[in-house]
Amino acid sequence: MTAETASKLAKVQRYSASLKRLFQVLLVAVALAMCAKVFLIAIGDEVFSYLRIGLTEYRGESIPWAAHVISWIGSLLGLAVLLKLFFHLQKLFGHYAEGRIFEKESVQQIRQIGVTVLLFPVLWLSLAIAPNFIPAEGRTALLESDGAGPFMELIAGAVILVVSWIMDVGREMREEQDLLV
């Protein structure tokens, strides 16, 4: 390894260590937010006179309990997906901080990040159709969609999966080349 390459690797390791710490902090913050949400639900303090589930709004005192439950579940699932995303990001940057860039474990973390990003559109779609299973009382508006929905998350997740596949092929090619030398 040349001195220039070693310098670049050291820089990647420093930045990766900082990003690993950032995602660890975010992981803890989201876990605490999830605990707070569960606590507020458990003590019954999470009942609002206004709810939005997907593209549907509920207002007033007569919001069905089913709407509250779906809102709670949606919030907790959203936090869980964020938790999963930050977990895989901190693992990935941990590998990079150790200088383990083109290894199988790093590629697996990138793949898991792509899968996790694709969970956001699944959650969005679930919450968009959920109001169809709730009694209409308290429903005040069906909001207009901007038409985009979770389009960017679908693209980002697909691109991340393709990048992980390309990195895996590159990793396999490098391993074959190392065996030949």
What are 21-39's pLDDT values in tens digits?
999 999 999 999 999 988 8
User: What whole-number distance in Å separates Cα of residue 175 and Cα of residue 140?
Assistant: 60
The pLDDT of residue 48 is 64
Confidence band for 118, pLDDT divided at 50, 70 and 90: very high
Residue 38 pLDDT: 84
How many Cβ atoms from other residues are within 10 Å of residue 132's Cβ?
Answer: 9
pLDDT mean over 82-107: 95
Query: How many residues are given for the chain?
Result: 181
Residue 181 has pLDDT above 60, yes or no: no
User: pLDDT-based confidence at 67, cuts 50/70/90?
Assistant: confident
Greater confidence (44 vs 108) lies with: 108
Domain count, the chain: 1
Predicted pLDDT at 56: 83
Find the range with the poorest average confidence among 40-44, 71-75, 153-157.
40-44
Angle subtended by helix axes 151-180 and 104-129, to nearest 10: 160
Residue 96 pLDDT class (50, 70, 90 cuts): very high
Determine the Cα–Cα distance for residues 14 and 9; give it in Å rounded to an integer.
Answer: 9
C-alpha to C-alpha distance for 5 and 13, rounded to whole angstroms: 12
Identify the band that residue 133 occupies on the pLDDT scale cut at 50, 70 and 90: confident
**How much is the average pLDDT of 115-139?**
88
Tell which residue, 170, 169, 77, has the closest CA to residue 116: 77
Q: What is the reported pLDDT for 57?
A: 83
Q: Give the separation between CA 73 and CA 62, rounded to whole angstroms.
A: 19
Q: What residues make up the domain containing 160? A: 3-180
Q: Please tell me which residue, 129 or 139, carries the higher pLDDT value.
A: 129
- Residue of 149, 138, 118, 148 whose CA lies nearest to 54: 149
Q: What is the 3-state secondary structure (H, E, C) of the chain?
A: CCHHHHHHHHHHHHHHHHHHHHHHHHHHHHHHHHHHHHHHHHCCCCCCCEEEECCEEEECCCCCHHHHHHHHHHHHHHHHHHHHHHHHHHHHHHHHHCCCCCCHHHHHHHHHHHHHHHHHHHHHHHHHHHHHHCCCCCEEEECCCCCCCCHHHHHHHHHHHHHHHHHHHHHHHHHHHHHHC
Look over the chain and give the mean of its residue pLDDT values, rounded to a whole number: 88
Instruction: Give the rounded percent of residues in the chain with a pLDDT score beyond 70.
Output: 92
> In this predicted structure, what is the pLDDT of residue 52?
81
